Amino acid sequence: MLEQLDVSQLNWARAQFALTAMYHWIFVPLTLGLSFLLAFFETLYVKTGNEQWKRITKFWMKLFGINFAIGVATGIIMEFEFGTNWSNYSWMVGDIFGAPLAAEGIFAFFLETTFFAVMFFGWNRVSKNFHLLSTWLVAIGSNLSALWILVANGWMQHPVGMAFNPDNARFEMQNFWEVLFSPVAMSHFVHTTSSGFLLSCLFIVTVCSWYLLKGRHVEMAKKSLAVACTFGIISAAFVGFTGDESAYVAAQVQPMKLAAMEGLWDGEINADLVALGIVNPAKKPGDDQDAFQIEVKIPYLLSLLANREFGSFVPGVNDLVYGNPEQGVMGAEEKIVLGKQAIHQLALYKKAQENNDDVVAAAALAAFSEHQDYLGYGYLNSAEETVPNVPLVFYSFHMMVVLGTLFPVLFAAILFFLYKKNLGEQKWFLRLGVLSVFLGYVASQSGWVVAEVGRQPWAIQGLLPVSIARTNLTTTTVQMTFFMFLIIFTTLLIAEVRIMTKQIQNGPEGE
């Protein structure tokens, strides 16, 4: 199954996916959130008849359009990159991804595209109410498409509703609803979309803070802020709540990810939560170095967050690698042995089928089924491979959470100053406001680092490591496309940022 593994090719393929996904993720959160903000602004226009809301809607819509175009450009590659760079994976999961992708295409994409056209070209061609409806449908359509792709991602993090078919070596769907309503999919969906709303509100804060500092478009800026910060606070609450849920779910289904997020090397009963810390980068599984150089702990809190129960045991990296029989934790070492047996039996089964030897085939299949849950482990060479990059995951997670607690305070403060009618005078605060979208991006990209680096080496948790998932390509080929993407996306990003800043400088029409 595995030709000799070319590690550098694998790393380049991963780098390429990370590159394209992170570029794509610069634009998507803004689409997710701005589309709803546009709907709010336009609703206010239609309800009040106040032309200023229309100007506000049109202004943000222009920025939305600029962002949307490059979101589409970076998005198409994501759909096909599964096939081009991860073809083995595509084959093995195609039967499961099929349904969500079909649903995404049929339900979401066309809603988004069709009504996008009305939103932009229809001001003078359709009625006010139909236009408003279209704006809402764009928002719903874009968030629906996020649903389906996150269902697919959620399935990779925690494969459910399927069975492995040894005859054609792939996973086949058994229950669509289980795939759709998997707890991982749902918590990721809500966390991701609400974090997109949050980021969009921060975008508005950035632009409007700048206007207020310059004393330009003051009325429009304040009106936009009032809406955005209200929506921002609600979104931030959702983000925190669903983030907690995500961590809880991770603790149940991806304990190694949780251990990495918390830098927990040795499991504990009543584990403490490390609120802040500097990890020891030299720490390796199984050694007895200190995990942290500096740490600030909150006693017992991790057990509560991870298991929602004081006194519960949270496994650490070492427990998950070497096992902890006392706590009933099976280690990766043992799983690798079982996984190798599964692979061996699968090969026997294939051979027996070729020889039309039904008896041997049946026996091999039975033996395979016994260990198939560990299939993926059989492709690993050492138990230590199951440990992701702990410092990276730890810092990313903590950065996200710290920022996640800062943002609602920021929104609340803006609303407070708006209420006091002295926001324009808070110069230092507005300067912080200008920075806010960049902080939002740090949090948002860190979130994906946690989710994706935290689950290495798995393409499908426990069942398929990335080393098997990849396409059989040469390193040079992947390097070439990596740099092609780097150059083209960077060029387009520069164009986008320049166009965007120019439009922001120009401000809304007619003001």
Partner 1 sequence: MGSLDLSQLQHLWWLLVSVVGALFVFLTFVQGGQGLLLTIARTDTEKSLVVNSLGKKWELTFTTLVLFGGAFFAAFPLFYSTSFGGAYWVWMLILFTFIVQAVSYEYRRKPDNFLGAKTYEVFLFINGTVGVLLIGAAVGTFFTGSNFSLSEYNFVTWEHPGRGIEAAFSLFNLSFGIFMVFLARVLGALYLNNNIEHEVLIERTRDAAFKNLLLLLPFLLYVLYRLLVMDGYAVDPATGVVSLEKGKYLSNLLAMPINGLGFLLVGLVLVVWGVVATRFMASRKGIWFAGLGTVLVVLAVFSIAGYNNTAFYPSKFDLQSSLTIGNASSSHYTLATMSYIALAIPFVLAYVWYVWSLLDKRKLTEADLFVEGSDEKY
Scanning residues 322 to 381, which ones bind ligand HEM (CB under 6 A)? none
Residue with tokens 């236009």: 131
The three-state DSSP-derived secondary structure of 305-325 is HHHCCCCCEECCHHHHHHCEH
Closer to partner 1 by CB, 422 or 491: give it. 491
What's the closest the beta carbon of residue 125 comes to partner 1, in angstroms?
A: 6
The option from partner 1, ligand HEM, none interacting with 450 (CB < 5 to 8 A, set by class) reads: ligand HEM
The option from partner 1, ligand HEM, none interacting with 330 (CB < 5 to 8 A, set by class) reads: none
Stretch that binds ligand HEM, among 65-73, 189-197, 262-270, 291-299 (CB under 6 A): 189-197
How far apart CA 368 and CA 365 sit, in angstroms, is 5
- Long-range pairs for 479-483: beta carbons < 8 A, 24 or more residues apart: 479/12, 481/16, 481/84, 482/12, 482/15, 482/16, 482/19
Task: Evaluate the omega torsion of the peptide bond into residue 465 and state whether it is cis, within 30 degrees of 0.
Answer: no
How far apart CA 145 and CA 111 sit, in angstroms, is 10
Scanning residues 416 to 445, which ones bind ligand HEM (CB under 6 A)? 440, 443-444
- 176 near partner 1 (CB under 8 A): yes
Angle between helices 183-214 and 128-157 (to 10 degrees): 130
Closer to partner 1 by CB, 177 or 428: give it. 177
- 86 near partner 1 (CB under 8 A): yes
The option from ligand HEM, partner 1, none interacting with 498 (CB < 5 to 8 A, set by class) reads: partner 1
How far apart CA 335 and CA 376 sit, in angstroms, is 9
Closer to ligand HEM by CB, 161 or 408: give it. 408
Question: Tokens at residue 78, please?
Answer: 């994501």
Scanning residues 423 to 462, which ones bind partner 1 (CB under 8 A)? none
Question: Tokens at residue 291, please?
Answer: 């995990």
Question: Tokens at residue 12, please?
Answer: 């380049």
Stretch that binds ligand HEM, among 93-101, 105-113, 169-177, 187-195 (CB under 6 A): 187-195
The option from partner 1, ligand HEM, none interacting with 52 (CB < 5 to 8 A, set by class) reads: none
How far apart CA 481 and CA 471 sit, in angstroms, is 14
How far apart CA 352 and CA 346 sit, in angstroms, is 10
What's the closest the beta carbon of residue 364 comes to ligand HEM, in angstroms?
A: 36
Residue partners of 189: CB distance under 8 A and separation at least 6? 146, 147, 150, 151, 154
- 244 near ligand HEM (CB under 6 A): yes
Contact letters for partner 1, residues 1-30 (x by CB under 8 A) = x-----------------------------
What's the closest the beta carbon of residue 508 comes to partner 1, in angstroms?
A: 12
Residue with tokens 């039309």: 356
How far apart CA 226 and CA 418 sit, in angstroms, is 8
Closer to ligand HEM by CB, 244 or 295: give it. 244
Instruction: Report in angstroms the alpha-carbon separations of 354 from 24, 344, 349.
Output: 45, 16, 9
Buried b (16+ CB within 10 A) or exposed e, 58-80: bbbbbbbebbbebbebbbebbee
What's the closest the beta carbon of residue 186 comes to partner 1, in angstroms?
A: 19
How far apart CA 172 and CA 110 sit, in angstroms, is 28
The CA-based diameter of the chain, rounded to the nearest angstrom, is 84
Among 17, 59, 115, 265, binds partner 1 (CB under 8 A): 115
- 105 near partner 1 (CB under 8 A): yes
The option from ligand HEM, partner 1, none interacting with 243 (CB < 5 to 8 A, set by class) reads: ligand HEM
CB 403 within 8 A of CB 432: no
Stretch that binds partner 1, among 161-169, 240-248, 319-327, 400-408 (CB under 8 A): 161-169
The option from ligand HEM, partner 1, none interacting with 508 (CB < 5 to 8 A, set by class) reads: none
Residue among 87, 41, 352 at smallest CA distance from 200: 41
Q: Give, in degrees to the nearest 5, the angle at Cα 114 between 108 and 120.
A: 125
- How many positions of this chain bind ligand HEM (CB under 6 A)? 28
- 246 near ligand HEM (CB under 6 A): yes
What's the closest the beta carbon of residue 251 comes to ligand HEM, in angstroms?
A: 9
Closer to partner 1 by CB, 85 or 242: give it. 85
H or E segment and range at residue 298: strand 292-298
- 195 near ligand HEM (CB under 6 A): yes
Closer to ligand HEM by CB, 196 or 378: give it. 196
Question: Tokens at residue 163, please?
Answer: 């069975």
What's the closest the beta carbon of residue 326 comes to ligand HEM, in angstroms?
A: 27
- Burial category of 286 from C-beta neighbours within 10 Å (exposed 0-12, middle 13-18, buried 19 and up): exposed
The option from partner 1, ligand HEM, none interacting with 115 (CB < 5 to 8 A, set by class) reads: partner 1
Scanning residues 482 to 511, which ones bind partner 1 (CB under 8 A)? 484, 488, 491-492, 494-496, 498-499, 501-503, 509
Residue with tokens 């990209």: 445
- 404 near ligand HEM (CB under 6 A): yes
Could you count the other beta carbons within 10 Å of the beta carbon of residue 157?
24
Stretch that binds partner 1, among 105-113, 224-232, 299-307, 366-374 (CB under 8 A): 105-113
What's the closest the beta carbon of residue 78 comes to ligand HEM, in angstroms?
A: 14
Residues in contact with ligand HEM by the rule CB under 6 A: 188, 191-192, 195, 198-199, 239-240, 243-244, 246-247, 250, 257, 400-401, 403-405, 407, 440, 443-444, 447-448, 450-451, 454
